[in-house]
Amino acid sequence: MSVRRRERTDRILKIIFKATGLATIALLGAIFFMLFYNSIAFFTHISPIDFFTGSQWNPESVNGTYSIFPLLASTGLVAFGSMFIAVPLGILTAAYISEFAPRKLQIVLKPVIEMLAAIPSVAIGFLGIVLIGPAIAKLFGIQNGLNALNGSILLAVMALPTIITIAEDAINAVPQTYKEASFALGANKWATLFKVTIPAALPGLIAAVMLGLGRALGETMTVLMATGNAAALPKGFLDSIRTITATIAIEMGEVPYQTTHYFALFAIAAVLFVITLVINLLGEYFANRFRKFHA
């Protein structure tokens, strides 16, 4: 092959790589632009004050009320509920795997937990409908088990692999010398875990929680299937709810193009986008701090 031909191949390859890189960035930019462009269109119809402070999401009614509040409350409620379950469970599991489990069990547990992340969310939603929902209904003596509690449990299951994996890395990265210091002073395994290892791993644990929370907030299919889809302000975990994600998924297919309702869905998507963005950035920030700390 002549030198010139080789140079040409080189050039072409370079262009291809550059193009794919730029395409990704362009795609992100386009999504961002689309979300905010349509949101702005929405706010020319409805005032942001009504949007954030109202109490009803009811686009079908005669003069259509568009308050994100019940949806945001729903999203917040399941996310909080799921973290309430997944954070202690995830961190203790991570601590167990990293500090207490015999090596053989460790080798089995880690990939099994990572595999949990591969279960499609539809399957988990299904589990919520046929198993956990009825169980909740029976346990609390209510008619309908498709509620915030159900969603919280399922989202906890979905966030657990992320939390456990990252938390385990964080706990594992705590220098052995800290633990030795603690043991040599007469502390037992538990005192060492709770007073030395976990505090030392804290930035990494916060990162784990943030990324798990990001996962829970963005999840759509599971909550759509398992939380009852009532777009009213929830009063507690036994109420049916409807999250931002589920609302978009349900309504987007039927809404007439470029109506207020259509724009409203972009607006709530933009809000969710900002929230998850902030949470992911926080997660990254803590993950980085934790890496620096152990460098």
Site for other proteins, rule CB under 8 A: 102, 175, 177-178, 180-188, 191, 195-196, 199-200
- Give the residue with the Cβ less far from other proteins, 200 or 268: 200
Q: How far apart are CA 103 and CA 262, in angstroms?
A: 54
- Report helix, strand or coil for 241: strand
- Give the residue with the Cβ less far from other proteins, 172 or 220: 172
- Give the residue with the Cβ less far from other proteins, 143 or 177: 177
Among 133, 127, 126, 162, residue whose Cα is nearest residue 148: 133
Q: Residue with structure tokens 């409908």?
A: 129
Q: How far is the CB of 286 from other proteins (least distance, A)?
A: 16
Q: How far is the CB of 95 from other proteins (least distance, A)?
A: 16
Neighbours of 7 (CB within 10 A): 10
Q: How far is the CB of 187 from other proteins (least distance, A)?
A: 5
187 Cβ contact list (under 8 Å, min separation 6): 195, 196
Q: How far is the CB of 185 from other proteins (least distance, A)?
A: 4
Q: How far is the CB of 73 from other proteins (least distance, A)?
A: 39
Q: How far is the CB of 189 from other proteins (least distance, A)?
A: 9
- Give the residue with the Cβ less far from other proteins, 109 or 137: 109
- Give the residue with the Cβ less far from other proteins, 61 or 177: 177
Q: How far is the CB of 170 from other proteins (least distance, A)?
A: 13
141: left (phi over 0), alpha (psi -120 to 50) or beta: left
Which 3-state string (H, E, C) describes 57-115?
EECCCCCCEECCHHHHHHHHHHHHHHHHHHHHHHHHHHHHHHHHCCHHHHHHHHHHHHH
- Report helix, strand or coil for 239: coil
Quote the crossing angle between the two packed helices 244-251 and 260-293, to the nearest 10°.
140
- Give the residue with the Cβ less far from other proteins, 118 or 184: 184
- Give the residue with the Cβ less far from other proteins, 138 or 195: 195
- Report helix, strand or coil for 26: helix
Query: 65 pairs with which residues across the strands?
Result: 58
